[in-house]
Structure 1
Amino acid sequence: MSGDGLHPTGHRASALGMAGMVTAPHAMATQAGVDILRAGGNAADAGVAVAASLSVLYPHMTGIGGDAFFLYHDARDRTVAAYNGSGASAALADRAFYERLGLGSIPAHGGPAALTVPGAVDAWLALHERFGRLPMPVVLA
């Protein structure tokens, strides 16, 4: 990456991490995760920091009003935890609701298809509560 560090060019050099690494579709989100690791955080802390950063830096792809699905490997006890932050369906989104709209099935696209309660932030909080090391205000700073 060249330039002022805020505007990445189309070409980036490869990087190697010996004590940890972070990757994200935006350089500043990646840096947020790296900063958390350098501050003594772990992968859960860094993952939440990256996700929260992307909510601001990459809002057309992810955000606090959406869903989150991820796996977390705990090296201490060699287990994998799965998180489903998809939220619940809206209370009124039943079969009759879609029939009143003249639809024979739930559409895959458009407004009526997106009737769920956002679950991303709840998933971040659940991950951090179970595995996080740093205080949440530090992770989100």
Structure 2
Amino acid sequence: MKFTNAITSSFVLVSAALSSLTAAVPLSRRDVYAPRVTSPHNGTVWTFGQRYNVTWDTSDAPQRITNPIGQIKLGRDNIIFPITLASNFSVLDGRIEVAVPNVDSGDYNLVFFGDSGDNSEVFTITNTNSN
């Protein structure tokens, strides 16, 4: 029992020391940024195997972004697929070209990740190989 109390006391002391150290070092302010995807949008049709631009609005970007590196994934019906269409680009670029993956024809959305996720509007992917 004394061993457990000694460990607990040491943990409390170390935690208190780290908290005061962290409080003493000011962090630069950073903002979470989730730009609005402007394309694709409702009514857009993409065809498997083709390349298209994904675009987003950067007009309201904060001065300091917490995570300025973006990633775009494919989603459908509130499910994010493990299909990465683009990654390691600046969220301030405003556009990136992607290739349409081989998926069943249907309605999809894109999930834009940087600091947080932002979904595109639902759009259609056609695949002539689908039955």
- Which structure shows the higher strand fraction? 2
Q: TM-score, normalised by structure 1?
A: 0.21
More contact order relative to length (CA 8 Å, sep ≥ 6): 2
Q: TM-score, normalised by structure 2?
A: 0.22
- Asked which structure has the greater CA Rg, the reply is 2
- Which structure shows the higher helix fraction? 1
